[in-house]
Structure 1
Amino acid sequence: MLETDVLVIGAGPAGSMAAKHAAMGGAKVLLVDKKSEIGAPKRCAEGVSKDGLKRLGITPDPRWITTEINSVRLVSPNGTDVLLDEEKVKLSEVGYVLERKVFDKHIAMDAARAGAQIMVKTLATGIERTNNHLIVTLEHMEHPFQVQAKIVIGADGPESRVGRWAGLKTGAKPGTMESCAQFEMVGVDMKKSNCIELRFGSAAPGGYAWIFPKGDDVANVGLGVLTPRTDKTAYQHLLEFVDTCPATQKAQPVELNVGGDPVGGLYKDLVTDNVLITGDAAGMVNPLDGGGIISGMTGGLIAGEIAAKAISNRNYSKKNLKEYQKRCQKEIGDSFKKYLKAKEYLLSLSDEELDSIADAFQNSDFDRISPTDLVKMLVKVSPKAMLKLGKLF
């Protein structure tokens, strides 16, 4: 049986950040991932903000940046578009389109350099509690073994089992898990090579469609839908979208990614005795735009710091770990509550109402652009939004 202070399950960006900061805090750390290659397959559109990376202390590296973004195009159902350009507007929530297969390894390598041990192709299959420790059963290359850990950090994605094993009430509620499908495509005809394009309306019921450029004529083209709002799969909606979108009608897919995106906000319970959950496993996904890389890494950083502190204090109780819950709520959860209200409002709009809002946006002046700024402008141009959201923003 192996022994460690902190076992992190899942080596995505959130898990690797947790492992890195736990190790930096002096804890003995083991980071495991069920995949044979960290970062593959990718599960998102790969966009991150410059400000977010800066807050996390991560220096941009050309090895994992495919495109630097300088504008965003918002497109309504009838094709009306609103272009938000960095020359006129501060784009605080966009910055780079990543190559996740490189980026995720980069963050995991940072964890290793900080002192964490890494094991790939290692699947966690169960957790048992014994005295003041946890015994975790795993399989490495189909060979079972056990790890005794003082703290386990679950960063095992939206299908997380760690939280459930620990008795936490995790998992997305009905109607809060978007089903997503995405192609990486070549031959995409983009109006601007450094512009993210977001398309709203019935093409993606309950969500939106996106085009994230990755250099030359390559782009991530995908969408997310809420299954209660459609009788089609996300993949079927994606096929229809690429057939009808002017930018993708002549493009060809070279990769397909599918998965779930929990957009119901931060989960209520993130800790129990000896256990923390973080990243997608904790619902750290912006309900409004579906982005979760920066927020998940923020949660991972906090989890690592709190775990190292608990190891130093030799106190792994739920009461002692509650500081993690409080910090996550303040730094992530409070804003997510507002974004969830904004999303509920947007879901109530018809295609015609979205078109009229796009018309109003074309005549509006923006100083900066972020989810909060967009909603504030929405409140200004839409009487209905004023009634629903005015007090929140």
Structure 2
Amino acid sequence: MDADVLIIGASPAGLMAAREASTGGADVILIDKKPGMDVSPHPANTFFKTMFDKTGEDVDQNYVIKNLKGAHIISPTGNRVTVESIGYFIDRTKFDMYYAAQVRNAGVDIRMGVEAYNVIKSGNTFTVSTSKGPLKTKIVIAADGINSNIAQLLGLKTVKHPEDIAWAMEAEIESDGIGNPDMFEYYLGSVAPGWKSTYSPCGNNRATIGVYVRRHGIDVSEFFDNWLEKFKSIKGLDDLKIINKKTGGDPIACIPNQIVSDGIMVVGGAAGQSGIGYGMRAGQIAGNVAADALLKGDVSKRVLSQYRKVWNSEFRTEYYLGRIALETLRKMDDHEIDEMMKNFEGQDLSFIKGSPFNQAMQIGMFLLQNNPKALLSYKALLRNK
């Protein structure tokens, strides 16, 4: 054996799985096709404290570019709801390198510039063919992103609704004072069907803007171009410079499905687990379960399914509620979104706290108490669209 556990993908989920498995006594190798941890091709660079708290990790200001107070959620005609919730704009490269250092300190062998090509199982052993030769292991943890080649090779349908990946395009922009506000802005409606367009200030003259679009194909450049022009109009900007663009996908509405098999676990975007914090927590669970299974000498699906069991107890309800909400949003037209948002305009929403599940319940109770007719907007969920 080259390792007890081989983790494919140095994503936040993969890094956590590696750290926890090694801390639990496993011999761990982590590989990634990127040439180094200082290369971060994915646009995910923001998170909220309430979601990151799931990991039990402290936010380190060394990788934080800007602290934010919350988000304005804005309807097509400009009605806005303000939700105060501590958030962070991070330097994704520093973030990844921060956790990579922890992983190395835990004894993990990190090998960058190594691409996995195939996985072959023989008895209780996996042989993973890579660009640097074969590696033998007892457990494979796939953390190689939303288009996981490894999960596909293993015949796993890791998400229930792959058609609902929110494909994203995000650009770093530069303009005088564009990074000074202390709130994220999320715009709903046809400008980014199925999810949102975004504005994330990151200090001084820098910010990012992006679109997250569902059911309109992988190429969302046309939506991004339209959002760019609308954003310039909203902010009254004539002079705006695009520094770079990144593309990716967010499985926010996809629902994890087959994420465990004999000797195999799938975590993070590859498992339909959306968000940096939630992906990291899934990695922690998987790493702990892997170490425990090795101590028991049993890496069967039955034993490794403890990963799925713990994940379900912590997240399943939230993910299903999130899908219901986003499917409702996807089926609503701009007018309906405006009408729904009017119910919250000018209201004190500081009562909305806790997990996404608790937040959804609190919002539902608010509508029921203040405007029961507003709940009728959710009939959009029943449309065959």
Corresponding residue of 2:90: 98
Does residue 311 in structure 1 map to residue 300 in structure 2?
no
Aligned with 2:123 (options 124, 131, 137): 131
SS of the residue corresponding to residue 270 of structure 2 reads helix
Percentage identity across paired residues of the two chains:
28
Aligned with 1:364 (options 331, 344, 347): 347
Q: Once structures 1 and 2 are overlaid, which stretch shifts more, 206-215 or 185-194?
A: 185-194
Shift of 1:56: 2.0
Conserved 8 A contact 2:336-2:377? no
Corresponding residue of 1:114: 106
Does residue 208 in structure 1 map to residue 192 in structure 2?
no
Q: Once structures 1 and 2 are overlaid, which stretch shifts more, 14-23 or 190-199?
A: 190-199
SS of the residue corresponding to residue 122 of structure 1 reads coil
Corresponding residue of 1:240: 226
- 1:39 and 1:329 map into 2 onto residues whose CA distance is 33
1:269-288, Cα deviation, whole Å (9 max, x unpaired): 11111110000010001xxx
C-alpha spacing 1:138/1:35, structure 2 compared with 1 (3 Å): same
SS of the residue corresponding to residue 295 of structure 1 reads helix
C-alpha spacing 1:7/1:107, structure 2 compared with 1 (3 Å): same
Shift of 1:172: 6.3
1:31-78, Cα deviation, whole Å (9 max, x unpaired): 111101226334234112223434423222222101111131111111
C-alpha spacing 1:97/1:295, structure 2 compared with 1 (3 Å): same
What is the letter of the counterpart of residue 352 of structure 2? R
- 1:260 and 1:386 map into 2 onto residues whose CA distance is 26
1:168-200, Cα deviation, whole Å (9 max, x unpaired): 223564531121100011116559621100001
Corresponding residue of 2:323: 340
1:282-304, Cα deviation, whole Å (9 max, x unpaired): 0001xxxxxx1111001000000
Does residue 278 in structure 1 map to residue 267 in structure 2?
yes
1:106-127, Cα deviation, whole Å (9 max, x unpaired): 1121111111110000000011
Conserved 8 A contact 1:136-1:146? yes
Corresponding residue of 2:205: 217
C-alpha spacing 1:60/1:122, structure 2 compared with 1 (3 Å): same
C-alpha spacing 1:69/1:353, structure 2 compared with 1 (3 Å): same
SS of the residue corresponding to residue 39 of structure 2 reads coil
Aligned with 1:177 (options 153, 165, 170): 165
Shift of 1:374: 5.5
- 1:296 and 1:238 map into 2 onto residues whose CA distance is 26
Corresponding residue of 2:155: 167
Shift of 1:345: 1.2
TM-score of the two chains, using structure 1 as the length reference: 0.87
Does residue 320 in structure 1 map to residue 303 in structure 2?
yes
Conserved 8 A contact 2:143-2:266? yes
Corresponding residue of 1:66: 65
- 1:105 and 1:56 map into 2 onto residues whose CA distance is 17
Q: Once structures 1 and 2 are overlaid, which stretch shifts more, 120-129 or 256-265?
A: 256-265
Conserved 8 A contact 2:42-2:248? yes
Does residue 9 in structure 1 map to residue 8 in structure 2?
yes
Shift of 1:165: 2.1
- 2:337 and 2:170 map into 1 onto residues whose CA distance is 24
What is the letter of the counterpart of residue 213 of structure 1? P
TM-score of the two chains, using structure 2 as the length reference: 0.89
Conserved 8 A contact 1:185-1:251? yes
Aligned with 1:355 (options 335, 338, 356): 338
Shift of 1:378: 5.6
1:136-159, Cα deviation, whole Å (9 max, x unpaired): 11113xxxx111101010000001
C-alpha spacing 1:202/1:188, structure 2 compared with 1 (3 Å): farther
Q: Once structures 1 and 2 are overlaid, which stretch shifts more, 309-318 or 248-257?
A: 248-257
Corresponding residue of 2:248: 259
What is the letter of the counterpart of residue 178 of structure 1? A
SS of the residue corresponding to residue 344 of structure 2 reads helix
Q: How many residues end up aligned between the 2 structures?
A: 369
Conserved 8 A contact 2:174-2:240? yes
- 1:174 and 1:219 map into 2 onto residues whose CA distance is 30
C-alpha spacing 1:39/1:300, structure 2 compared with 1 (3 Å): farther
- 1:122 and 1:194 map into 2 onto residues whose CA distance is 40
- 1:266 and 1:147 map into 2 onto residues whose CA distance is 31
1:301-333, Cα deviation, whole Å (9 max, x unpaired): 000000001111111111111111111112122
- 2:324 and 2:113 map into 1 onto residues whose CA distance is 40
Shift of 1:235: 1.3
C-alpha spacing 1:191/1:111, structure 2 compared with 1 (3 Å): closer
Q: Once structures 1 and 2 are overlaid, which stretch shifts more, 236-245 or 263-272?
A: 263-272
What is the letter of the counterpart of residue 114 of structure 1? A
What is the letter of the counterpart of residue 113 of structure 1? N
Where in structure 1 are there 5+ consecutive unaligned residues?
286-291
Corresponding residue of 2:23: 24
What is the letter of the counterpart of residue 260 of structure 1? G
Conserved 8 A contact 1:159-1:171? no
What is the letter of the counterpart of residue 127 of structure 1? V
- 1:345 and 1:51 map into 2 onto residues whose CA distance is 24
Conserved 8 A contact 1:279-1:300? yes
Conserved 8 A contact 1:243-1:249? no
